[in-house]
């Protein structure tokens, strides 16, 4: 997928507006749908928590080998089921430390990804309550994906020396990938100081007109360009391919993205008549 679009981000940094958006208050359990202030009404919802040791129904582990080397990265990466572990109330999305990808099968860094069974999401408000790993050398994210040209992301680049962390600190990156092969709409902001120890809520609101990115209900960015228009899937992942322009890595120690809860309010192409 669009790794090297991302490496090119440095070349086309775009300023983005930060218009005030109302809060994250939700009028739930109405006759029909849930209304999110500023975003509109969503007909469907799902809440995922992680008691026990199995993934809740509705979420799956990805099995894919991603051939980043085709685009010039030092290594490939592979999403492996063993790196998705439900334990102690968290969904752990792991890139194991101490890997030697040069001698690994396919020169791939073992990584992890979870995706929704629902593959027909068209506009949503998705809130991920998580602790990100500050172990340098991965990209950890919550994102919507249909194709490389229909994608919106919140991503944490844990290595402060990534060329995309242009201010030298590990930032949160907010992106709508380019819908037309042109420039993506990308910006980044400082992450919470305790991103590696405390649960925060990372949220994307996606409507026909904009994407808006929030941390703990506070608007970080709102983007009206390159807003995806096609239905697709929501995903959470953690990966590394050694690219100094983006993920850097592989991480020395274990990188564990810990998700405590996911709340999704969304429409699908067919949800209009669902109540």
Ligand X SMILES: *[C@@H]1O[C@H](CO)[C@@H](O)[C@H](O)[C@H]1NC(C)=O
Footprint of ligand X (CB under 6 A): 1-3, 39-43, 66, 123, 139, 141, 143, 153, 155, 207-208, 237, 239, 267, 271-272
Measured from each CB, the residue nearest to ligand X is 1
275/267 Cα distance (integer angstroms): 12
Beta bridge partners of 85: 92
Please say which residue, 89 or 272, places its beta carbon nearer to ligand X: 272
Q: State the minimum distance, in angstroms, from the CB of residue 208 to ligand X.
A: 6
Q: State the minimum distance, in angstroms, from the CB of residue 243 to ligand X.
A: 10
CB 136 within 8 A of CB 248: yes
Please say which residue, 134 or 207, places its beta carbon nearer to ligand X: 207
Q: State the minimum distance, in angstroms, from the CB of residue 48 to ligand X.
A: 18
Q: State the minimum distance, in angstroms, from the CB of residue 251 to ligand X.
A: 15
Q: State the minimum distance, in angstroms, from the CB of residue 89 to ligand X.
A: 24
Q: Where are the beta strands (DSSP E) in 104-215?
A: 108-116, 121-131, 139-147, 150-157, 171-176, 185-190, 200-206, 211-215
Q: State the minimum distance, in angstroms, from the CB of residue 51 to ligand X.
A: 27
94/224 Cα distance (integer angstroms): 33
Please say which residue, 88 or 258, places its beta carbon nearer to ligand X: 258
The pairing of beta strand 108-116 with beta strand 76-79: parallel
Please say which residue, 37 or 194, places its beta carbon nearer to ligand X: 37
CB 55 within 8 A of CB 66: no
DSSP 5: H
Q: State the minimum distance, in angstroms, from the CB of residue 117 to ligand X.
A: 18
Cα distances (angstroms) measured from residue 115 to each of 20, 64, 91, 146, 202: 31, 12, 12, 12, 17
Please say which residue, 41 or 260, places its beta carbon nearer to ligand X: 41
Please say which residue, 7 or 16, places its beta carbon nearer to ligand X: 7
With a CB cutoff of 8 Å and minimum separation 6, the contacts of 251 are: 95, 97, 133, 135, 136, 137, 138, 158, 240
Chain position carrying tokens 């390159």: 226
Backbone angles phi, psi at 262, to 5 degrees: -125, 130
263/36 Cα distance (integer angstroms): 13
Please say which residue, 92 or 211, places its beta carbon nearer to ligand X: 211
């Amino acid at each position: 997928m669009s790794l090297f679009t991302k490496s090119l981000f440095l070349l086309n940094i775009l300023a983005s507006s930060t218009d005030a958006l109302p809060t994250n208050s939700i009028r739930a359990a109405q006759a029909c749908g849930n209304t999110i202030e500023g975003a509109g009404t969503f007909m469907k919802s799902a809440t995922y928590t992680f008691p026990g040791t199995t993934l809740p129904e509705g979420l799956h582990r990805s099995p894919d080998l991603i051939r980043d080397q085709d685009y010039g990265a030092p290594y490939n990466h592979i999403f492996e089921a063993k790196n998705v572990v439900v334990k102690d109330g968290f969904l752990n999305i792991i890139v194991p430390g101490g890997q030697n990808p040069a001698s690994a099968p396919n020169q791939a860094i073992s990584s992890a990804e979870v995706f929704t069974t629902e593959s027909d999401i068209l506009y949503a408000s998705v809130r991920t309550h998580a602790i990100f790993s500050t172990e340098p050398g991965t990209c950890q994210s919550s994102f919507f994906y249909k194709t490389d040209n229909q994608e919106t992301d919140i991503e944490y680049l844990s290595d402060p020396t990534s060329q995309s962390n242009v201010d030298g600190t590990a930032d949160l990156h907010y992106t709508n990938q380019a819908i037309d092969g042109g420039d993506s709409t990308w910006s980044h902001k400082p992450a919470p100081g305790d991103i590696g120890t405390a649960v925060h809520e990372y949220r994307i609101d996606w409507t026909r007109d904009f994407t808006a990115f929030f941390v703990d209900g506070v608007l970080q960015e709102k983007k009206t360009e390159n807003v995806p228009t096609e239905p697709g899937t929501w995903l959470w992942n953690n990966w590394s391919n050694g690219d100094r322009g983006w993920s850097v890595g592989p991480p020395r120690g274990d990188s564990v993205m810990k998700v405590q809860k996911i709340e999704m309010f969304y429409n699908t192409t067919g949800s209009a008549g669902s109540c």
